[in-house]
Copies of this chain bind each other. A is one copy, B any other.
Amino acid sequence: MKDITLKEIASKLGISITTVSKALKNYPDVSEKTRNSVLELAKSLHFTPNSFAVNLRTKESKTIGLVIPEVVHHFFSSVINGIIDEAEKHGYLVIIVQSNESLEMEIKQIEMLLNKRVDGILISLSNDSNDDEHIKEIQRRGVPLVLFDKISKLINCSKVIINDQKAASDAVEHLISVGCKKIAHIRGPLNPQNSVDRFLGYKKTLERNNIPFDASLVYTCKGAGFDEGYEFTKQLLNEHPDVDGIFAVTDMVAVGAITYLNEINVKIPEQVKVIGFSNWFMGQVITPKLSTIDQPGYEMGVKSFDLLFEEMQHKSETIFKYKTVELETGIIARESTLGK
C-alpha cells in the first residue's frame, strides 16, 4: 500500500504542496474553494500526515517513555493504567520499559528512550538505584522528567508520591489502637526511599507510643514478595513467639505472613494481627481479609502524567518550577486486625 503524501494530493489537484499543507491545517489564507477540494481529496484518499516527517520538523513525537520496575504488579499496573488513560486524553502515546529492579537495566532502558527522543520520561526507580547519573543525564539532555512512587530525594525534579512515613505510622497506630504491644515489621530493601520511610514511620510511631524499638523485630526483605513474607514470619514466630502484631511493607508480604500463620493455626487477629500496604485486590479475598493502607495507584498515574505534561508545555522556559505532589492515603481496616 503506497502512502499518500502532500505531494500526491498537490499534483492530483494541480496546486502546490504548500497550499495543500495550509488547507489541511486550516490556515486562513486559503480560498474556501481550494480548501474544500483539498479536504475532500485528502479524506477520500485517507491521507494522514507522515508522523516521521512531522516529528523531524516539530522535534517532538507526542510520545512519552515510562520506566517501571515491573509490569506484573497490582500497584504498578494501576499506575500504568492511569498514565496511559491520561496521556491519551492529551494525544500522547506511552512506551513502557521495565527495569526489573536492576540498575543496569534501568540505565539501558533510559538510554533507549532518550535515543528514541521521547518528549518526556516518567520513572519509578528500581530498588538498585543509588547512582543517579543516568537520571541526571535525562535532565542534561533537556528532557522533561517526573519521578513517582519510588523516588530519590537527591534528584531535583517534579515528583508524585505518598507520605510513606505517615501512612506507615497510620498502620502502626492502628495496630496499637487494637491492642498490639509487640509489633514486628517485615520491611522492604534497605535502599529504596519508600521502604526506608515506612520503616521510619514504624519506628517513630512505636517510640511516640512508648513502645521500645527492638531491632530484632525488624526483618528485611530483598524483593518483598510472598515467599519472604512467609519465611520471615516463620522465623519471627520462632524468635518471638509472643509477637502480637505484624506490619508488612506490602500486601504481598502480608499475604505470605497470613498464609504461614494460617498453616500453623495461629489465630488472626486474636493472637497476631496483620496489616499490609497498598490495598491489592487479593487482600479482599483471602481469609481473613487483610487490613491495609490504601495507595491510590491510578490517581498517581494520572497526576504523574499531568505534571509531565505541564513541564513539556514549558520546555523552552529556562526556569521551571518543580512540584512535588503528595497523594492522600487511607487506612482500610479489615478482619486481619479487627476480626469478623
Contact A77 B81 (CB under 8 A): no
A237 at the interface (CB under 8 A from B): no
Contact A78 B72 (CB under 8 A): yes
| Beta-carbon nearest neighbor of A141 in chain B | B1
Nearest CB in chain B: distance from A319 CB, A: 16
A226 at the interface (CB under 8 A from B): yes
Of A10-18, A95-103, A144-152, the one with at least 4 CB within 8 A of chain B: A95-103
Most buried by B among A51, A53, A255: A51
**B72, B112, B141: which contacts A77 (Cβ < 8 A)?**
B72
**How many identical subunits does the complex contain?**
2
Interface residues on A, range: 35 or more
Q: Which residues of chain B are near A93, meaning CB under 8 Å? A: 95, 97, 112-113, 116
C-beta contact mask, A53-96 vs B, less than 8 Å → 1, else 0? 10110010101000000111110011011001100100001111
C-beta contact mask, A252-285 vs B, less than 8 Å → 1, else 0? 0001001100100000000000000000011001
C-beta contact mask, A98-129 vs B, less than 8 Å → 1, else 0? 10000000000100111111000000000000
Q: Which residues of chain B are near A116, meaning CB under 8 Å? A: 51, 63, 93
Nearest CB in chain B: distance from A25 CB, A: 15
| Complex Cα spacing A208 to B286, Å | 36
| Complex Cα spacing A94 to B93, Å | 10
**B61, B94, B98, B141: which contacts A85 (Cβ < 8 A)?**
B98
Contact A95 B95 (CB under 8 A): yes
**B52, B114, B142, B282: which contacts A117 (Cβ < 8 A)?**
B52
C-beta contact mask, A320-332 vs B, less than 8 Å → 1, else 0? 0000000000000
Contact B282 A262 (CB under 8 A): no
A140 at the interface (CB under 8 A from B): yes
Q: Which residues of chain B are near A37, meaning CB under 8 Å? A: none
A48 at the interface (CB under 8 A from B): yes
Contact A81 B85 (CB under 8 A): no
Nearest CB in chain B: distance from A333 CB, A: 19
Contact A51 B115 (CB under 8 A): yes
| Complex Cα spacing A282 to B284, Å | 10
| Complex Cα spacing A61 to B63, Å | 13
Q: Which residues of chain B are near A78, meaning CB under 8 Å? A: 72
Q: Which residues of chain B are near A26, meaning CB under 8 Å? A: none
